[in-house]
Structure 1
Amino acid sequence: MKKIHLLVLKAFTRPFIVTFFIVMFVLLMLFLFKYIDDLIGKGFPWYVILQLMWYASATNVAMALPLAMLLSSIMTFGSLGENYELVAIKSAGISLQKAMAPLVVAVSVLSICAFLFADYMLPVANLKFGSLLWDVRNQKSAFLINEGVFNNSISGYSIRVEKKDPDERTLHNIIIYDHSSGGNVVLRAKTGTMDKTPDESYLILNLRDGVRYQEDSGEGSYNPRQRFTRYRFKETTQKFDLSAFKPKRTDENLFKSSYAMMNLKQLKYYQDSTTKVADSTVKTYPQLLLPLYRIYSSQLLVDKKAVKDAPGYKNNLLERIPEIDRSAALSFAQTEIQTIKETLNAKATEKTDYKKSILRFIVEYQKKFTLAVSCLILFSIGAPLGAIIRKGGLGLPVVTSVIFFLIYHIISQIGEKSAKAGTMDPILGMWISIIVLAPLGIFLTYKAAVDSAIFDSELYKQKFLKLFKRKKA
């Protein structure tokens, strides 16, 4: 019995590790294709790119782990069935459930690890990844001067160089438009050299044989005339600030309020706090509207029965207001109604925002658990499915696992988006994919235990031929 359990565990471990890293690699390549324009040409050191890829890999575990679990379980039991090892196990009097027992324990341990990862490590990885990606996407491209084009990377300056020598330092026919001081300044030089300070905070251009043109307003605000200055120089130096091109790190504490960057304890705390604030805000609505409800005439402060019995009264309040004041009363009433309407609309928007925040907290809270349970559900689908189809390798198992994973992923995404939009209960929305696929796992496990041939094409072919012969007879 122990040898059979070791055989099944060894058969499962290798495909699981291989498929997990293959899926992680594919997801990482998709990430690079998506953000390649934000990474290239910005002067980042190599370790920053590696850090970003490392954090991106950690955030992809939530998708890679269930898919690897499904694919490896199909491959394992498909290979055992194809090599008739499952037949040998059953002939020894060991049922499929007993053969799967050590894998069920191993997958349960992996599910618990996935839950702990989602609660403790994934929020930290999301925080590091989110803050670093923000800095990368907002970082300016590295300062480069290309031949024959104007470079506008430095704020307030436009630089054009006709030719650059192979040493990348010597420049020819340089034009600089300077708008940083508010006036119009143009510098032209025949040659020049380009250097940076040791800390690369400034760019130094040493210009030679040139002319400086400057056009600015005359003295005094009344004089509309402008002053034009021109002087030639043999050599001058122009200094440019490059601090905007140096990579900067944003404080990570600014991103900690995001939903995906909290653990269970923090999500529960902020959910309760937001709910209390939302409830207390709703209670203040009558206090805000009460000052807008007024009685404008002391003539209305009479006995209601006396008002109804008054001559000419037909349940119309305007009849109790003097005719000369009715227009002003109606105008004032419309103004008050518009104020009440705007107040209620603002409070309704505020309440909707609170509701969306609470839904997001619930969604992220439930997501910690669904990752662990999805591993068990997909294993319960993949293991019996592999025993039924009896095909190992990377052919049919890959196609089958991708189909079932797409079904799981599409249902879960629809449920999550519906939960965030408030069109579905958030708990139901996060667990709907598990609820839908759990009966399928039970059904496939039962069919595999009784040696069903539901995926045998020859069986369906024979049944179709028998049915066709009956109709023909």
Structure 2
Amino acid sequence: MVIFIFQGIWLFIDDLAGKGLGIVIIGKFLFYYMPSLVDKVLPLTVLLSSILTFGTFAENYEFAAMKASGISLQRGMRSLIVYVIFLGGVTFFFANNVIPKSEQKTYNLRRNIAKVKPAAAITEGVFSDFEGTGEGMNIKVDKKYGEQDRFLDNVIIHKKTKQSINNTVIKAEAGELISSEDSDIIQLVLKDGNYYEELISKSTKEKRKHPFAKSKFETYTINIDVSELNNQDFDEDRNVTTDKMKNVGRLIKDIDSLKKNNLEKVEAFSKNIVTRMGAFYNPAKIDSTKRKQSNTNLIKDVVQNDVDDLVKQNKPKTDSIETIDQLLSKLKEYQHTQTINRAKNSVSSILTTVVAKKDELQKRFKFYNSHILSLHKKYALAFSCIILFFVGAPLGAIIRKGGLGLPMVIAIVLFLTYYFIGVFAGNYAKEGNIHPALGAWLSTLIMLPLGIFLTKRATADRGLTGFGHIIDIVKGFFKKKEKVSEK
């Protein structure tokens, strides 16, 4: 736990350092952060402790004494098996109740710490929103540097009206935050920039011209009232919930809601596209997941539809089936180009809509997959403790080494294998490349056959690698050949 806490400190060093925070706030942050480390710490702890314990037993010939007394390895492990099963149940309770609360407390505390000083709330490369600071605004900077990040490069500010409308834009090449410990006002001094303001006109005719005012400045000072920020309550909670902040009951409910909502979105979008195309006369029979249509075929479908409309206007109805070329030949020459251009424009518009909608749907399904992944991870964490015990205990009995030497190395290698398989599987599951349930269980399922294999070998008093019987088979094969050659 101590090792992972130090890793966490380095991850969040930007949130904690240079903010003037007391030791109580930093201690509270680490206390809230510790439960979220359990999914990494506990499996490694069970694996390492079981290898050390049973390795020490085997090294000191305790197992030999047990077997001489008629006590098998399974019987010697019986009490620990009961304990590990109980530990798995406690782990599930912890993952379902404590970790979600911990994630929410950590998130809220980080947000509240970030609001202590405006420089801390400004993120490089993105617009940072300042609400409740006397004057609402969005600030974006390319770079922060200097003492406490007080100097800013390439500043863009969108100032808000009372209706939260951005009608003023300020751009400056550089900026500086000047503050005093005794004052609730921070000065943002901008240098070498331009000021743009949209003018609100009462006349409809003038509004169509979109009038605005522009001015250039060498130095421009903005006063930011931070009285509310300085009185920030670090324990303030926000109703922000992610998949990691939910228990099993909430996850199951939200997964069902997200699934229905996503299907409704897809169905509505599919109907909209089919209506706009006007090319599929029986869309209910079309499987959008199997149909892969090229742009050329798509254009032909639209052309066919447009030609049908024009033919109906110029020709009487006919029951014969005609190709696109035949239908185009019945139109006037200038109508050929019109029809094809209409089809191309329709296809281009539809493809643009599909591409834009694709990104939105991918984010929706990624959010949906992350909920399923979090649900199964709670169960997988509990079972991983049990399975890793059956990996570590027989492995320690086989290698017959105690202490923090070889057992530590083996435990870390096995844990890293288990951990990285879980990380890669989780990322694949979020992207939809594999089922989220498999992504949560994959690392545990890979360790399961290893645990069964090691338990069987430890029970039969065999070594870690059993190539002896293979060598015996090869020797026997050559002996038979020698006998045959002698005859």
TM-score (norm 1): 0.68
| Structure 1 range deviating more: 97-106 or 263-272 | 263-272
For 2:87 and 2:147, the matched residues in 1 are separated by 57
- Conservation of the 8 A alpha-carbon contact between 2:115 and 2:229: no
Cα pair distance change 1:288/1:43, threshold 3 Å: same
Cα pair distance change 1:203/1:363, threshold 3 Å: closer
Cα pair distance change 1:327/1:69, threshold 3 Å: same
> 1:260 maps to which residue?
244
Cα pair distance change 1:301/1:442, threshold 3 Å: farther
RMSD: 3.7
5 Å-filtered alignment, 1:373-388, equals 373-388=383-398
Q: Does 1:359 align with 2:363?
A: no
For 2:410 and 2:324, the matched residues in 1 are separated by 77
Q: Does 1:271 align with 2:255?
A: yes
- Conservation of the 8 A alpha-carbon contact between 1:43 and 1:141: no
SS of the residue corresponding to residue 364 of structure 1 reads helix
1:326 aligned to which of 313, 322, 336: 336
Q: Does 1:436 align with 2:416?
A: no
> 2:317 maps to which residue?
303
SS of the residue corresponding to residue 391 of structure 1 reads coil
SS of the residue corresponding to residue 394 of structure 1 reads coil
For 2:269 and 2:35, the matched residues in 1 are separated by 45
> 1:175 maps to which residue?
none
Q: CA deviation at 1:412?
A: 1.4
Q: Which runs of 5+ in 2 are unaligned?
A: 121-145, 153-169, 172-178, 188-215, 217-222, 279-304, 479-487
Q: Does 1:368 align with 2:378?
A: yes
- Conservation of the 8 A alpha-carbon contact between 2:46 and 2:388: yes
Q: Does 1:92 align with 2:69?
A: yes
SS of the residue corresponding to residue 12 of structure 2 reads helix
- Conservation of the 8 A alpha-carbon contact between 2:398 and 2:464: yes
5 Å-filtered alignment, 1:223-234, equals none
For 2:396 and 2:9, the matched residues in 1 are separated by 33
Equivalent residue letter for 1:279: L
1:201 aligned to which of 173, 177, 184: 184
- Conservation of the 8 A alpha-carbon contact between 1:73 and 1:386: yes
SS of the residue corresponding to residue 65 of structure 2 reads helix
1:177-229, Cα deviation, whole Å (9 max, x unpaired): xxxx99xxxxxxxxxxx9855xx63589xxxxxxxxxxxxxxxxxxxxx9xxx
For 2:99 and 2:110, the matched residues in 1 are separated by 16
- Conservation of the 8 A alpha-carbon contact between 2:108 and 2:238: no
Q: CA deviation at 1:117?
A: 0.8
Q: CA deviation at 1:336?
A: 1.9
2:461 aligned to which of 438, 448, 451: 451
- Conservation of the 8 A alpha-carbon contact between 1:44 and 1:247: no
1:54 aligned to which of 25, 28, 31: 31
| Structure 1 range deviating more: 327-336 or 73-82 | 327-336
> 1:343 maps to which residue?
353
Q: CA deviation at 1:79?
A: 1.3
1:282-317, Cα deviation, whole Å (9 max, x unpaired): 222354232553754343674333685xxxx88433
1:409-429, Cα deviation, whole Å (9 max, x unpaired): 121112111111211222222
- Conservation of the 8 A alpha-carbon contact between 2:15 and 2:113: yes
Cα pair distance change 1:375/1:150, threshold 3 Å: closer
Q: Percent of aligned positions with the same letter in both sequences?
A: 32
For 2:315 and 2:263, the matched residues in 1 are separated by 36
Q: CA deviation at 1:108?
A: 0.4
Equivalent residue letter for 1:317: L
For 2:247 and 2:97, the matched residues in 1 are separated by 6
Number of residue equivalences = 362
Cα pair distance change 1:151/1:385, threshold 3 Å: closer
Equivalent residue letter for 2:104: L
> 2:52 maps to which residue?
75
For 1:364 and 1:437, the matched residues in 2 are separated by 20
1:94-122, Cα deviation, whole Å (9 max, x unpaired): 11101101100000000011011111111
For 1:260 and 1:93, the matched residues in 2 are separated by 48
Bigger CA radius of gyration? 1
For 1:332 and 1:281, the matched residues in 2 are separated by 28
Equivalent residue letter for 1:119: N
Cα pair distance change 1:350/1:202, threshold 3 Å: closer
- Conservation of the 8 A alpha-carbon contact between 1:114 and 1:371: yes
Q: CA deviation at 1:81?
A: 1.6
> 1:400 maps to which residue?
410
- Conservation of the 8 A alpha-carbon contact between 1:300 and 1:320: no
- Conservation of the 8 A alpha-carbon contact between 1:140 and 1:244: no
| Structure 1 range deviating more: 343-352 or 58-67 | 343-352
SS of the residue corresponding to residue 60 of structure 1 reads helix
Equivalent residue letter for 1:269: K
TM-score (norm 2): 0.66
> 2:11 maps to which residue?
34
> 1:125 maps to which residue?
102
For 1:368 and 1:150, the matched residues in 2 are separated by 43
For 1:431 and 1:134, the matched residues in 2 are separated by 32
Runs of 4+ in 1 over 6 A off after TM superposition: 149-152
SS of the residue corresponding to residue 319 of structure 2 reads helix
For 2:225 and 2:86, the matched residues in 1 are separated by 56
For 1:141 and 1:403, the matched residues in 2 are separated by 44
2:21 aligned to which of 44, 54, 74: 44
- Conservation of the 8 A alpha-carbon contact between 1:142 and 1:245: no
1:335-366, Cα deviation, whole Å (9 max, x unpaired): 22222222333333333233222211111111
1:426-463, Cα deviation, whole Å (9 max, x unpaired): 2222212122111111111111111123379xx99xx9
For 1:301 and 1:270, the matched residues in 2 are separated by 56
For 1:274 and 1:124, the matched residues in 2 are separated by 22
For 1:35 and 1:83, the matched residues in 2 are separated by 45
Cα pair distance change 1:343/1:320, threshold 3 Å: farther
SS of the residue corresponding to residue 316 of structure 1 reads helix
Q: CA deviation at 1:244?
A: 7.5
